[in-house]
Amino acid sequence: MTNSRILDFFSHHPESLHMFTFLFDDIGIPQDYRHMDGSGVHTYRLINKPGKAHYVKFHWKPTCGVKNLLEDEAVRVGGANHSHATQDLFNSIAGWSYPEWKLFIQIMDPADEDRFDFDPLDVTKTWPEDIFPLQPVG
């Protein structure tokens, strides 16, 4: 894909730019699926048993830790097998070493939605963990 096509894609899909910037952060390129964090893009509205609604964002943390590839490693691994992450997952499961993630949530009271300098329902925004700490679910 040429540089102009990439920019064209982002101009038509600005919500994807947020994820693209992760490649230039400390998050880097995941070694494989078993060693990467996951999170939901959308904010969900959940209602508890008494009927009170809350906004919730979901996060998954791998129990085996996060591991990333350096750029030269990513080129080598991806060049040798473009499906290396899928193959690693398949081999892990076939070897009875099942991948596992811990589930966490961030919770916001809908009444607080307008208190912030960002739209918490915007899919391109993440919620600051110092304001909305990750709470373990399972």
Domain ranges of the chain: 30-136
State the Cα–Cα distance between residues 46 and 55, nearest whole angstrom.
6
Q: How confident is the model at residue 90 (pLDDT cuts 50, 70, 90)?
A: very high
pLDDT tens profile 11-58: 888 877 777 777 677 677 889 999 999 999 899 999 999 999 999 999
Lowest mean pLDDT among 13-17, 23-27, 60-64, 99-103: 23-27
pTM for the structure as a whole? 0.81
**Three-class HEC string of 83-109:** CHHHHHHHHHHHCCCCCCEEEEEEEEC
From residue 108, alpha-carbon distances to 7, 59, 90 in Å are 34, 14, 37
Backbone angles phi, psi at 30, to 5 degrees: -60, 140
Residues 102, 103, 106: CA angle, nearest 5 degrees = 135
Range 30-136 classified under CATH 3.40.50.720: no
